[in-house]
A = this chain, B = another copy of it.
Amino acid sequence: MQPSDLSLNVFESDAENTWCPGCGDFAILRGLKLALVEAGIHPHEALLVSGIGCGSKLPDYMHVNGFMTIHGRPLAIATGAKLANPNLHVLVVNGDGDSYGIGGNHFVHTCRRNPDITHIVENNQVYGLTKGQYSPTSEKGFITTTSPDGAIEAAFNPIAVALAAHATFVARSFSGDPKHMARMIVAGMNHRGYALIDVLQPCVIYNKLNTYDWYKQRIYRLEDEGHDPSDHTAAAARAQEWGDRIPIGVFFQTEAEHAYEQDVRALAAGTPVESATRLHRDPRPEQYEALRQRFL
């Protein structure tokens, strides 16, 4: 399966890594590289879009087309890129604050829109880069500088919301298990449509509650308990599990829906990127005559 010229070091970058020692993001970086090798995708074939946050620095740390954008907006930017050039493998990687906090609206609409984008969320249940405020996924009672008495909002449940918002591929993985993660990412990339992979990612500095150990004691694999990913109701029930037992794996997947761009009829005439390139070399003004006629 692995094309001979692809190996992890093809994706190596010499940029200085600024993550804290022990940060769960290292494993996500590794998991993503493993997945790209496994899927046979070269650095130039992918576009990796991120937002702002510790996790969103990831594209800086690998050799791939990377676009580190603004806080909360990578899904929208990735959607534009995918529609303009569906030939690219478009991935998004960003933090929980980026994805579900400020980026929440794009998240719910991307779910129902279903563009062929693989979305990896580095979910450390905290705002890392801004030094430790609570995030939408922080548990009730989680104490931070902006929640000194403990968070008093119910935690945002990305799996449940994605399911309710019509996502067609919904999975969870864990930084403690890069191989599982790579498997989830490959599955997400193979999925035709939007794929959410929420990764439980320990922040060793600002989250002293949801640590590697804490997770390891609780995590189980959905596949080990015979969960059927085609069963939406079962997926929704599993999505409610948290606390004593935390499932990882594919909660739900359906190929019954088209990816958004498959239904964009204009794309059959060539992609917007191709049109611009063609035009550059070979303007074809005659095709506009019919448009002009509308006004005559």
Instruction: Show the binding face of A for B, using Cβ within 8 Å.
Output: 102-105, 108-109, 112-114, 136, 149, 152-157, 160-161, 163-166, 233, 236-237, 239, 257-258, 260, 263-265
Is B260 in contact with A112, judged by CB distance below 8 angstroms? Answer: no
* Centre residue among A155, A164, A257, A258 by max chain B CB count within 10 A: A164
Residue numbers in B under 8 Å from A257 (CB-CB)? 154
* Centre residue among A104, A114, A149, A233 by max chain B CB count within 10 A: A104
The chain B residue with its CB closest to the CB of A258 is B152
Is A264 in contact with B152, judged by CB distance below 8 angstroms? Answer: yes
A94 to chain B, nearest CB (A): 15
The chain B residue with its CB closest to the CB of A163 is B164
Indicate which residue in B102, B153, B156 contacts A260 across the interface (CB closer than 8 Å).
Answer: B153
Q: A149-B265, A233-B237 are in contact. Are A112 and B154 (CB under 8 A)?
A: yes
Q: A233-B237, A236-B236 are in contact. Are A164 and B153 (CB under 8 A)?
A: no
Residue numbers in B under 8 Å from A157 (CB-CB)? 164-166
Indicate which residue in B105, B152, B164 contacts A164 across the interface (CB closer than 8 Å).
Answer: B164
Residue numbers in B under 8 Å from A112 (CB-CB)? 136, 153-156
Indicate which residue in B109, B136, B155 contacts A136 across the interface (CB closer than 8 Å).
Answer: B109
The chain B residue with its CB closest to the CB of A232 is B240
Residue numbers in B under 8 Å from A236 (CB-CB)? 164, 236
Residue numbers in B under 8 Å from A103 (CB-CB)? 105
The chain B residue with its CB closest to the CB of A265 is B149
Residue numbers in B under 8 Å from A152 (CB-CB)? 258, 260, 263-264
Is B164 in contact with A114, judged by CB distance below 8 angstroms? Answer: no
Is B156 in contact with A108, judged by CB distance below 8 angstroms? Answer: yes
- 10 more CB-based (< 8 A) A-B contacts, given A108-B161, A113-B154, A157-B166: A104-B105, A108-B108, A109-B136, A112-B154, A112-B155, A112-B156, A152-B260, A152-B264, A156-B165, A161-B165
Bound CA span A169–B37, Å? 47
Residue numbers in B under 8 Å from A155 (CB-CB)? 112
A153 to chain B, nearest CB (A): 5
A82 to chain B, nearest CB (A): 14
Bound CA span A248–B236, Å? 22
